[in-house]
Amino acid sequence: MTQFNRIVSAGCSFIHGSELGDEVPYSQSTYPALIAKHLKVDYNCIAYPSASNQGIAKQILESKADWQSFYIVQWTYPSRFGVHLNQSMKDKNKQPTTWLDLAPNSWDYDIKAFHEYREYSQQLNEMGIPELSKKIYTYIGHKQYMFQTELCMRAVKGYLDSQGAHYLFLPACNDIAELTMHSFQGKGFIEWCTDKNFPVGPHKHPLQQAHQEAFALLLDTVNI
C-alpha cells in the first residue's frame, strides 16, 4: 500500500512541463504527474523553467515536507548557478524576487528567444546580468559545478530525511547520473530521450511520448 498521499515534483523545465501544452501553472503530462495519477494521490509541482540545482534545492527546503510526501526530484545541468542578488528584480511571472539562476549561454539573455519572457530578458540585459554571467563562467568550471550540485543534493536529502519524507532523485543529464539514486537506464533524462529518438518541441524539450515512456520505465524499475 502507498505510504504517502501526495507527490511533489521538483526540477527544471523538463519537470515543469515546458512545451507540453498544459504547463500553466504546471503540466499534468510529465512523468511525475503520470505517476501521481496512476497511484491516485495528490500532485504538486515546484519545478520551474531554467532552474539551477541551487534553485531546485531552495524550492524543496522552503516546502513543507512530511512523512506523507513523496518527492520526485530531477536534478538539472550542474553548470547552472543560483544566487541571491543584492537587489530586487521581477521574475518570469512578474513577481518581485532577488533570486536568479545563471547559466552559460542562457537563452534567458536573448530578447528574441521567448516572446512571453521578452520583458524578463530585457530586464536582465539592463541589469548587466549577461556580463556577470560571462565573468563567473570565465573563472569556474566542471569541478565547481559538480561540487555545488552535490552540496545541493546532500542538503535536500538531509532535510527530507529529517521530515520523514520519501524521495527519488533522478538526473536530467549524464553529468550527474552517478550522483543520483536512479537513472534512465544508466543515462540522464535528456540523453535517454535522445537515444530513444523521442519527439521534442522547438526548444528541445521532450514531449508527451518521452514522459509516458519514463513513467512506464520508473514503475517497472523503481519501488514506488
Alpha helices (runs of H) in 40-188, residue ranges in sequence order: 53-61, 118-127, 129-139, 142-162
Looking at the DSSP assignment, which residues form a beta bridge with residue 10? 73
pLDDT in tens, 52-63: 999 999 999 999
pLDDT in tens, 60-78: 999 999 999 999 999 999 9
In the CATH scheme, what is the homologous superfamily, with its name and number, of domain 6-79+142-221?
A: SGNH hydrolase (3.40.50.1110)
Domain residue ranges in the chain? 6-79+142-221, 82-139
- Our CA dihedral for 47, 51, 55, 60, rounded to 10 degrees, sits at 20
Q: From the CA atom positions of the chain, what is the Rg in Å? A: 17
pLDDT, tens digit, 9 for 90 and up, residues 84-133 = 999 999 998 889 999 999 999 888 888 877 777 889 999 999 999 999 99
